[in-house]
Amino acid sequence: MKPATRMFIKQRFTDYYQKARISPPASVKEREFGFIFFDDNYPEDIRMRRHMGFFSAEELQEYIKSLVPAHSYYSTAYYQTPQAPTMGDKDWLGADLIFDLDADHIVRGSYDEMLMRIKGETEKLLDVLDNELGIDMRTVRLVFSGGRGYHIHVQELEFRDFGSAERREIVDYLCGSGISPSLLLDEWTPGHSGWHERYRILLVDYLFNLSKKTEKEIKIELSSLRGVGQVMADRFCTMIPDLISSLEKSPSSILHRDQTVKTVLNALVTEKDSPFLPMIKECSVQIDEPVTTDTHRLIRLPGSLHAKSGFKVVPLTLKEFEDFDPLIDAVAFGEREVMVESGKDYSFSLLGSRYNIKKGSVKVPEAVAVYLCARGMAEIGGEPGGVS
């Protein structure tokens, strides 16, 4: 990034923070804060200034307004002394339960396609939290990250003391890790929700698709699983139609067939090359697992700006989330024209319009210029400051 481009983005951020009101997290005095600044090496060499604490929302607001960070974060944890220079000296008091959903971990494509996909994944997670884990949804806070996803904060007090091990169990449930076919099928009852029913449906679909293959293809696929030899694959192949019927009527009954069924089902969920695992992953909630298990995590500050997009980090109610469009509602800047230099052609949506940017010098609305420059798609051009 050229110095003029970095200065342009910082100037726009300065304008934003002069007017914006940052919503501090609950218990601001017990939170650690961290910031990345527009120094001379940004963004090639990014260093965070952390282990900071503030006594009030006003103090935090003034700090951000004065120093204009590129990125702003706060701890999901509560500390007795958040500004202490080492984690051991902070005196951990607990932490919110956090889920991070990032489209980059799930799908590749255009920015608007990624945002659409991650919104669907977020809806899936909210449904599981509400209807399967029994979370009090009044304690749930939803935040658009300003980048490619959403953060879900569960502030229910019962979770605050959970350590990494307890949080890992929640992650495993959401991700479908450690599935036990025997347990899920044996405990299945009509009307059962959650993984019991998801697994049953997935298994029916898998066996149905398997049955459409040739006998030779089925045997090759099954015998590639550890512990499943040629003889066992042959036997299982003949059982598929009957197993599908049983799964639709009495799932637990298939466990009483013989060792062949148990061995194949276990191999399908434990072998890393199993053709069944992608089906489980697609049906699971694809969260960023380390974020949830980390009880000292720093996460983006609502109301701040994300310097890799120029978008706002937007706090949302569950109702607001339904109609939220980041490409409109998270845009922080206006429409005055700015000259940029684009290295190649681009096409994308922003502020409800489609922009087709050609390689070379082009005048665009300020919001588009910040977006292009922040994402490394263009440099500021024209006269000093880039404003025509």
Report, as an integer, the average pLDDT of 110-127.
93
Provide the CATH number for the domain around residue 44. 3.90.920.10
Dist. CA 29–CA 76, nearest whole Å:
13
Whether the CB-CB separation of 181 and 195 falls below 8 Å is answered with: no
Are 259 and 296 found together in one domain? Answer: no
66/147 same-domain check: yes
Q: Does residue 176 fall inside a structural domain?
A: no
H or E element that contains 363:
strand 360-365
pLDDT of residue 382: 60
The mean pLDDT value for 220-237 works out to 90
Q: Are residues 141 and 187 in the same domain?
A: no
Quote the mean pLDDT of the chain: 92
> What's the CATH code of the domain at 343?
3.40.5
Q: List the structure tokens of 326.
A: 């980041």
Statement: residue 293 has pLDDT above 90: yes
d(CA 35, CA 72): 5
Same domain, 146 and 237: no
Does 147 lie in the same domain as 29? yes
Instruction: Please report the pLDDT score of residue 108 as a whole number.
Output: 79
Neighbours of 177 (CB within 10 A): 14
What global pTM score does this model have? Answer: 0.89
Residue 306: φ, ψ to 5°:
-105, 115
Tokens of 159: 């979770």
Residue whose entry in the numeric block shows the structure tokens 């965070």: 48
Single residue among 283, 312, 346 that ends a domain in this structure: 283
pLDDT band at 385 (very low <50, low <70, confident <90, very high): very low
Least confident of 152-166, 222-236, 254-268, 372-386: 372-386
Q: Helix or strand or coil: residue 94?
A: strand
Q: Is the pLDDT of residue 110 over 50?
A: yes
Catalytic residues: 100, 102, 288
Does a structural domain hold residue 174? no
Q: Is residue 212 part of a domain?
A: yes
Q: Is the pLDDT of residue 58 over 50?
A: yes
Cβ proximity of 134 and 158 under 8 Å = no
Q: Cβ atoms within 10 A of the Cβ of 275, count? A: 15
What is the pLDDT averaged over residues 336-349? 92
- pLDDT (mean) for 290-298: 95
Residue 328, pLDDT above cutoff 50: yes
Mean pLDDT throughout 185-208? 90
If asked whether residues 28 and 149 sit together in one domain, one would say yes
The answer to the question of residue 206 being in a domain is yes
The answer to whether position 35 is within a domain reads: yes
How far is Cα 386 from Cα 211, in angstroms, rounded to an integer? 63
Assigned domain for 341 exists: yes
Query: Which stretches of 301-352 are assigned E, i.e. beta strand?
Result: 305-306, 311-312, 314-316, 337-342, 346-350
- Domain count for the chain: 3
Q: Are 100 and 220 found together in one domain?
A: no
Q: What percent of the chain has pLDDT above 90?
A: 78
Residue 241, in any domain of the structure: yes
Residue 191 pLDDT exceeds 90: no
Q: What residues make up the domain containing 244?
A: 181-283
Do 212 and 243 have their domain in common?
yes
Q: Is the pLDDT confidence value at 257 over 90?
A: no
Summarize the confidence of residues 56-74 as an average pLDDT.
96
Is there a single domain that holds both residue 279 and residue 336?
no
CA 255 to each of CA 189, 247, 265, 353: distance values in angstroms, whole numbers, following the listed order: 15, 10, 10, 56
Q: What is the mean pLDDT of residues 185-189?
A: 85
pLDDT at 386: 41
246 by Cβ neighbours in 10 Å (0-12 / 13-18 / 19+) ranks as: buried
What pLDDT shows up at residue 387?
42
Mean pLDDT for 74-97 is: 96
Q: Are residues 317 and 336 in the same domain?
A: no
Tokens 């527009």 locate to 38
